[in-house]
Amino acid sequence: MKVTTKQNTFGFALLLASFSALGPFTVDMYLSSLPEIMSYFQTNTSMIQTTLTASLLGLGIGQLVMGPLSDIYGRRYPLLISMILYFISSIACAFAPNIELFIGIRFVQGFVASAGLVISRAIVRDLYNGSELTKFISLLTMISNVAPLISPLAGSGVIAYTSWNHIFIVLGLLGIVLTLLTLWGITETLPASKRVAGHFGQVIGNYKELFRDRSFMSYALGNGILFAGVFAYVSATPFIYQNIYGVSPMVFSILFALNGVAIMLGSQLVKYLAGHMAERRIFAIGLMSAFVASAVILVMTLSYGSLIGLVIALFWFGFSIGLIGPVSFSLAMESQGHIAGSASAVLGVLPFLLGSFTSPLVGLAGEYSAQPFGIVIFIVSLLSLICYKGLNSVSTSKVINNQ
């Protein structure tokens, strides 16, 4: 299978989005059950938060392993084995006898779930390039962004009628569905002739090659640094909206979901712009848009501005993220077809890694101050812009000199 036809493009994007959604469902679906889990294991808040950290670490580290494995052994079999292990680890979470084992299994669950994220993107790079790659990634991003919106609601729906461990039974059933989809819906997109050598030295060499590629890193870091602002948003807005502005949990859920809608709209716009406007220009416009939006957010948080003003500025920022995400992937992967799995892993892990730094910073002034959040959002936008401009100008000048 080299390309998909126009008739089945949406269906294929929906199929790959199902694997991409595994990350958000693994992390978010059980959040509403955390108090019940704490009571069940008779533990403290810190240990319960560690279960979330373990799954995020698994998702991040797993991508660095699963990406190269898919370059060595192809896309289909690593994905199939990972989905089987996801089913097993999910059921193991449901019946874990103590919190320590639960934390360990959560890491494993996140680790194998990462295969869905990284291999689905590598499959896209195997099949598409140029503006077609950008259009397909835009469609995939739009569909995938539904998962973070519905996964917490799905978890709340489950525990409304049953206990917390049924959430992991549902996730186990999802693992079975994805296993069957891998068997019947995914064909191998990386022929043996294009796979890389299967030894540790080659894997390390591939990562060195990527980190030395200034063009690749300009897009990887430009997107990764900016996306770290999304993690800051996730950490800060529950307190900003509810503690500072006094909105109800229901209103907070709506306002939180708005940014997901903004990202979807931005990625949908990219789908229409690709082919009519250069991807590099779209990326630069998105970065500038995010920077201006972050400046407005900074002003609003420093001056204790109105709720509606902050919501609009955050929507604007989310829309800019939606513009940047698809084109950053397309541009970064443009010359990485030979190691698409490893490249996809770097692109996937950077937001997690950088987000682990920004998330704690937003709470430095306590739960009743939004100022650290505004400062963090502005700084990541500025650093993203500087990083892209600096690395991209160096790589461009090298190309000109070589000519």
Query: Same domain, yes or no, for 122 and 205?
Result: no
pLDDT at residue 292 is higher than 70: yes
Cβ atoms < 10 Å from Cβ of 365 = 13
Q: In the numeric block, which tokens belong to residue 298?
A: 């900074």
List the one residue out of 379, 344, 355, 62 whose CA is nearest residue 220. Answer: 344
Residue with tokens 């100008």: 393
Distance from C-alpha of 143 to C-alpha of 66, rounded to nearest angstrom: 23
| Contact present, 165 and 95 (Cβ < 8 Å) | yes
- pLDDT value at position 8? 61
Residue 270 lies in a domain: yes
Where does the pLDDT of residue 377 fall: very low under 50, low under 70, confident under 90, or very high at 90 and above?
very high
- Phi-psi region for residue 74, left (φ > 0), alpha (ψ -120 to 50) or beta? left
| Contact present, 70 and 190 (Cβ < 8 Å) | yes
Helix (H) or strand (E) holding 315: helix 307-333
Distance from C-alpha of 267 to C-alpha of 264, rounded to nearest angstrom: 5
Residue 24 lies in a domain: yes
Tens of pLDDT, residue by residue over 215-230, are 889 899 998 999 888 8
- pLDDT value at position 335? 73
- pLDDT value at position 393? 63
Query: What percent of the chain has pLDDT above 90?
Result: 35
Rg of the chain over all Cα atoms, to the nearest angstrom: 21
Query: Same domain, yes or no, for 394 and 316?
Result: yes
Q: Domain holding 363: CATH number?
A: 1.20.1250.20
Query: Same domain, yes or no, for 113 and 214?
Result: no
Residue after which a domain boundary falls, among 145, 168, 195: 195
- pLDDT value at position 394? 52
Distance from C-alpha of 170 to C-alpha of 155, rounded to nearest angstrom: 9
Residue 31 lies in a domain: yes
Distance from C-alpha of 287 to C-alpha of 226, rounded to nearest angstrom: 8
Query: What percent of the chain has pLDDT above 70?
Result: 93
Look at 126-130, 197-201, 287-291, 320-324 and tell me which has the smallest mean pLDDT: 197-201
pLDDT at residue 6 is higher than 50: no
Distance from C-alpha of 381 to C-alpha of 296, rounded to nearest angstrom: 12
Query: Same domain, yes or no, for 152 and 88?
Result: yes
Q: How many domains does the chain have?
A: 2
Please count the residues of the chain.
403
Averaged over 29-52, what is the pLDDT? Answer: 81
Query: Same domain, yes or no, for 182 and 223?
Result: no
Query: Same domain, yes or no, for 166 and 205?
Result: no
Tens of pLDDT, residue by residue over 140-172, are 877 777 787 778 778 878 888 889 999 999 999
Residue 11: is it exposed, middle or buried by C-beta count within 10 angstroms (0-12/13-18/19+)? exposed
Strand partners, 335: none
Tens of pLDDT, residue by residue over 232-272, are 887 777 778 878 898 886 777 788 778 888 988 998 898 88
Residue 47: is it exposed, middle or buried by C-beta count within 10 angstroms (0-12/13-18/19+)? middle
Three-state helix/strand/coil letters over 181-240? HHHHHCCCCCCHHHCCCCCHHHHHHHHHHHHHCHHHHHHHHHHHHHHHHHHHHHHHHHHH
Query: Same domain, yes or no, for 116 and 212?
Result: no
Query: Same domain, yes or no, for 256 and 349?
Result: yes
Tens of pLDDT, residue by residue over 63-78, are 989 988 998 899 999 9
Q: Could you list the residue range(s) of the whole structural domain that residue 375 is in?
A: 199-403
Query: Same domain, yes or no, for 176 and 159?
Result: yes
Average pLDDT over all residues of the chain: 85
Query: Same domain, yes or no, for 14 and 98?
Result: yes
Residue 331: is it exposed, middle or buried by C-beta count within 10 angstroms (0-12/13-18/19+)? buried
pLDDT at residue 4 is higher than 50: no
Between CA 172 and CA 9, with CA 187 as vertex, the angle to 5 degrees is 90
- pLDDT value at position 285? 94
Q: How far apart are the first and last CA of the chain?
A: 36
List the one residue out of 105, 95, 98 whose CA is nearest residue 43. Answer: 98
pLDDT at residue 396 is higher than 60: no
pLDDT at residue 395 is higher than 70: no
